Amino acid sequence: MRRISVILFLAVITLYAHDVIAQEQKIGFFESDYILAQIPEYEGIQQRLDLLSSTWDEELKALEEEIEQLEEEFKAKEILYTEEIRKQKRQEIEQKKREKEAYLARKFGPNGEYFTKQGELLEPIQRQVFTAVRAVASRQGFDFVFDRSSDIKMVYAREEWNLNEAILTELGIETEQQ
């Protein structure tokens, strides 16, 4: 009986200590999408990326039309071709499809030019934002700060812990709410 009492006592103390530790942590959040939208340079960067993307989209569209034209021509003349020419035309179509896929990967793939250029252009702004986040979090005594715009799902957050305005102030950006 005494042993059960000791175990129960230790369990209660452990739970109590956990609650005390949890209460001492200060957690805040911000929305990087909102912050970036307030930075004037960001809009210019986004426009440059959109222009680049639309140029590549046009080139991709031209490749798709070329493939479609080759396929239509093949279907229309297939019965006139010898087996050797059919094989050659099919290979030509497959080669164009591979060329399109390679172009797509080169321009828009995970290591493609678009994401490389995006990282290159946005990196200085992102560095500024995260420096401001660290400064605000440190100054206001936050233990954790989450980005509500990211993949982390926040089911509920009290607005008093929203650091958007403090971060914008740290970046020297005035908003209507200030």
**pLDDT at residue 16, rounded to an integer:** 53
Residue 170 confidence (pLDDT) above 70: yes
Alpha-carbon distances of 151 from 46, 52, 106, 146, 155, rounded to whole Å:
21, 26, 26, 10, 12
**pLDDT at residue 8, rounded to an integer:** 46
Determine contact, residues 27/161, Cβ cutoff 8 Å: yes
- In angstroms, the CA 178 to CA 175 distance is 6
Task: Identify how many contiguous H helices and E strands the chain contains and give both numbers.
Answer: 6, 2
**pLDDT at residue 148, rounded to an integer:** 84
Query: Look-up: residue for tokens 């087996």?
Result: 83
pLDDT in tens, 123-166: 999 999 989 988 998 898 888 888 888 776 655 556 777 788 88
pLDDT in tens, 145-154: 888 887 766 5
DSSP string, 87-112: HHHHHHHHHHHHHHHHHHHHHHSTTS
**pLDDT at residue 166, rounded to an integer:** 85
**pLDDT at residue 128, rounded to an integer:** 92
Percent of the chain at pLDDT > 70 equals 81
Residue 23 confidence (pLDDT) above 90: no
Cβ neighbours for 143, distance < 8 A, ≥ 6 positions apart:
25, 26, 27
Question: 1-15, 53-67, 97-111 — which is least confidently predicted?
Answer: 1-15
pLDDT in tens, 72-115: 999 999 999 999 999 999 999 999 999 999 999 999 999 999 99
Residue 13 confidence (pLDDT) above 60: no
**pLDDT at residue 171, rounded to an integer:** 84
Domain ranges of the chain: 24-170
**pLDDT at residue 158, rounded to an integer:** 66
Both structure tokens of 64: 């798709």
Amino acid identity for residue 163 in this structure: L
Q: How confident is the model at residue 6 (pLDDT cuts 50, 70, 90)?
A: very low
More confident residue, 21 or 111: 111
